[in-house]
Amino acid sequence: MSGIALVRKPGPRIAEGIVTHIEREPVDYERAVHQHDAYVAALAAAGWRPVHVEPADHLPDAPFVEDAVVVSGRLAVLTRPGAPERRPEVESVEQSVRDLGLKAVRIARPGTLDGGDVLQVGQTVYVGRSGRTNDEGVAQLAALLPERRIVPVDLRGVLHLKSAVTALPDGTLIGDPARVDLPDLLEPPEEPGAHVVPLGGDRVLLAASAPRTAALLERRGLVVTTVDISEFERLEGCVTCLSVLVPA
C-alpha cells in the first residue's frame, strides 16, 4: 500500500498546545521540528508521499493534523473539533484535501468530532465518545458513511480513542483495557505501544518510547519502524496524530 501522507509542520507556538490529562511540560520547538522531519521521512521511506498542509504557526496544535479530517475512500469528512480554539485548523486542511481531488463534507453544529476519536478497521469504524467528540458528531459521521458499521466507544481518562487503542495490519486491536471496553484487545507492555500506524503490508510505525511493544510486534512477524516523537508526547500526541494517510 502507498499513497499520500497529509502532514503539517509544527509552528513556534507549539509549546502552548492544549494538554488535558497530563501535566504540562516544556516543549523544545527546534527539537519538535527535527522530530517531525524524521517522522515525515519515515512515512516517505515506507512509500507515502508527504503533502504538507499550509503552515498555521498561530495555531499551536496544528501539527496534529489527524484531528481535522477523516478520510474514507475518496470522501474527506472535515471535522468540527471539540476544542473551539482548534476549529480554525480545518480550513487549510479542507483546501489540501480538495487539491487531492477528494470530496469534502463537514460535521455541522452542534456536532463535534475529532479525527483522533475515529479508528477505521476494515468495514468497522470505532468512534470514541470523548471530551472532544459528542453523540451528535458520532451520528453525523454514521450518516456520512452509511456503508460502514459505526461502533461508539466510551473512554476513560484519555484524550482520544486512538490515545487508547489502534489496530494492527491484520485487524487486531491493540490498546489499554483500562481505558476502553473492547473485546480481545492485545495489551501492549507500555502505554505508547497502543499507538500503531499501519504503513501497508506487514509494516507499522511506532514511537521510540515503546521498545518492548516494538519487540512484541516483531515477534508477531511485523516490520517495525520507530520514530522519536517525545516533544509531541508532552502534548498528549502520538504517532497517529501527526498524519492522515490517504491510500492511492
Domain range list for the chain: 3-247
Q: Residue 247 corresponds to which cell in the numbers above?
A: 491510500
Confidence at residue 173, expressed as pLDDT on a 0 to 100 scale: 98
pLDDT tens digits for range 81-136: 999 999 999 999 999 999 999 999 999 999 999 999 999 999 999 999 999 999 99
CATH architecture for residues 3-247: 5-stranded Propeller (3.75)
Asked if 90 contacts 78 with a C-beta cutoff of 8 angstroms, the reply is yes
21 is known as an active-site residue = no
| C-alpha span between 134 and 114 (Å, rounded) | 9
Task: Spot the catalytic one: 36, 160, 195, 238.
Answer: 160
- Residue 83 CB neighbour total at 10 angstroms: 15
Q: Which residue spans within 26-181 are E strands per DSSP?
A: 48-52, 69-72, 75-78, 103-106, 118-121, 124-129, 149-154, 165-167, 173-175
Confidence at residue 22, expressed as pLDDT on a 0 to 100 scale: 81
- Cis link prior to 110 (omega < 30° from 0)? yes
238 is known as an active-site residue = no
- The DSSP code for 238 is -
Q: Write the CB contacts of 23 (distance below 8 Å, at least 6 apart in sequence).
A: none
Confidence at residue 1, expressed as pLDDT on a 0 to 100 scale: 64
Flag whether the pTM goes above 0.75: yes
What is the separation, in whole angstroms, between the first and last Cα of the chain? 8
Q: Write the CB contacts of 169 (distance below 8 Å, at least 6 apart in sequence).
A: 198, 200, 201, 202, 203, 204, 222
Instruction: Single out the residue of 222, 217, 175 nearest to residue 199, CA to CA.
Output: 222
For 134, counting Cβ atoms within 10 Å of its Cβ (0-12 exposed, 13-18 middle, 19+ buried), the class is middle
Q: Write the CB contacts of 182 (distance below 8 Å, at least 6 apart in sequence).
A: 126, 153, 165, 173, 175
Per the document, the length of the chain is: 248
Q: Residue 81 corresponds to which cell in the numbers above?
A: 473539533
Confidence at residue 203, expressed as pLDDT on a 0 to 100 scale: 98
Task: Spot the catalytic one: 36, 195, 238, 241.
Answer: 241
| C-alpha span between 129 and 127 (Å, rounded) | 7
Residue ranges, the chain, pLDDT below 50:
none
